[in-house]
Amino acid sequence: MGKISDLNALLNPVIATCKIAGEKILEIYEQDFAIDTKADSSPLTAADMASHHCLVDGLNKLHPKLPVLSEESAEISYSERKSWEYYWLIDPLDGTKEFIKRNGEFTVNVALIHQNKPIIGVVYVPVLGNCYFAADGCGAYKQSGLAAAKPISVRRQAPDLVTVVGSRSHKTGDLADYLTRLGEHNIKSIGSSLKFCLVAEGSADLYPRMGPTCEWDTAAAQCIVEQAGGSVTEINGTPLHYNTEESYLNPFFIVFGDKSKDWSKFAN
């Protein structure tokens, strides 16, 4: 297919689709719901699937020729998807464990990938009604409820006492070692891709991830961080890329705003 030239025009309908998916999630969130277990032992609820179907239907109507890769329909061979120039990469409910805990820290994530890079990213927080979004070359924004969207940017110069954001549900020895080498810091714990969003809006300086994630967990939020002036890199400093191999697992990575510092050195 040809080049998608007007990314900004795609943003509003993608945001609207994410908000509808969020409504589907909240309908189930406010009820008693069953919890199933997927083959990888991760939890699955009716909300995951309701959001999945809503997003897939909405994105197919928006751009029928674009493939959609979802966490809940990931059985697509690399031999098929490696030829995709553009595709939607979605996590219908990022933070299912937080959804089950009913702490509100879960999101709807939609990214448009072009040649292994996220060029549109939408992260919607159903409980709060907050939406973070970005498109390549268009900047990054946060909309709170029905208020007008406002541009966001990373904190480009980290203070001496760095604010680190980390997972509520996934803590590892590698991360503990990294933070020890980093030295004195403040820590904020929060679920889902909200960790990226705190860096993007300048509420945190650093998100080191030394544990397993999949590509649908990170793509939308990576676009937002990058368009807000930050970086998402592997430990070796190369940008995080997508759809480059059979596995959907990401390598360890670091999200940061201040590009003048070598955050990777604390991983060694």
The pLDDT, as a whole number, for residue 153 is 98
Mean local confidence (pLDDT), 123-130: 97
Cα–Cα dist 49/58, whole Å: 14
The pLDDT, as a whole number, for residue 38 is 83
Cα–Cα dist 149/142, whole Å: 5
Confidence of residue 52 (pLDDT cuts 50, 70, 90): very high
The pLDDT, as a whole number, for residue 247 is 95
Asked if 20 contacts 57 with a C-beta cutoff of 8 angstroms, the reply is no
Confidence of residue 5 (pLDDT cuts 50, 70, 90): confident
Per CATH, which fold does 7-151 belong to?
A: Fructose-1,6-Bisphosphatase; Chain A, domain 1 (3.30.540)
The pLDDT, as a whole number, for residue 112 is 98
| DSSP per-residue string spanning 112-135 | EEETTEEEEEEEEETTTTEEEEEE
Q: Which CATH architecture has domain 162-267?
A: 3-Layer(aba) Sandwich (3.40)
The pLDDT, as a whole number, for residue 238 is 94
Report in angstroms the alpha-carbon separations of 181 from 93, 176, 209, 265: 33, 9, 15, 9
The pLDDT, as a whole number, for residue 169 is 61
**Average pLDDT in the chain:** 94
CA trace torsion 173, 176, 178, 183 (10° rounding): -160
Cα–Cα dist 57/139, whole Å: 27
Cα–Cα dist 21/18, whole Å: 5
pLDDT tens column, 69-100: 999 988 899 999 999 999 999 999 999 999 99
Mean local confidence (pLDDT), 34-40: 82
The pLDDT, as a whole number, for residue 115 is 96
Q: Would you list the domain boundaries of the chain?
A: 7-151, 162-267
Predicted structure pTM score: 0.95
pLDDT tops 80 at residue 39: no
Q: What percent of the chain has pLDDT over 90?
A: 86
Choose between 74 and 19: higher pLDDT: 19
Cα–Cα dist 222/241, whole Å: 10
pLDDT tops 70 at residue 123: yes
pLDDT tens column, 172-210: 789 999 999 999 999 999 999 999 999 999 999 999 999
Cα–Cα dist 29/23, whole Å: 10
The pLDDT, as a whole number, for residue 44 is 87
